[in-house]
Amino acid sequence: MALSMAAVVTAQCQWPVPPLPSPLAFQAIPGDRFSNLRRQAIQFVDARQWQGFHFVERKEHGSFQVHCRGVPVLWLENRPEHVLMQTSLDAEQRAPEVLQLWAFLRWQLQPLDYLEQVLIGVPEPVLMDRVLGKLAGGVPDGVRCVKG
């Protein structure tokens, strides 16, 4: 019995359970709340510009992006029907600190449930994209935004 229990624990350590997909769409918010999220993203970038982060304002949907050395790693769109927030598939390797910003912004929003997201056509990276991203290897140091 103890041997089989040890095998289960060992298997879980070697093959961790993949994280559940994170909501990408959130309930619509007023413009002043979105402006507050925008200010928080600008503060994040301003404090980390030396690491290679840049804030990019987008015209469509009043959106913005956070770039790591020219590559978008997080973007937020304030659409009339919902707020859309996404991170790049390689954000964890390219710009691990942006995940802290993502979590902080997400905490302030009310997620739509999975069915609501499907009904409005929110794009979700397919499992194969995630697997291929992991298998492709790490991001070279010269294009990463990390503490130096």
Q: Contact, 29 vs 83, CB < 8 A?
A: yes
* Fold type of domain 22-141: TATA-Binding Protein (3.30.310)
Half-sphere exposure of 88 (CA within 13 A, CB side): 21
Contact 109, 58 (CB under 8 A): no
- Could you read off the pLDDT of 115-134 as tens digits, one per residue? 888 888 876 665 555 555 55
Domain boundaries, the chain: 22-141
What is Dmax (Cα atoms) for the chain? 62
Single pTM value for the model: 0.74
The whole-number pLDDT of residue 129 equals 55
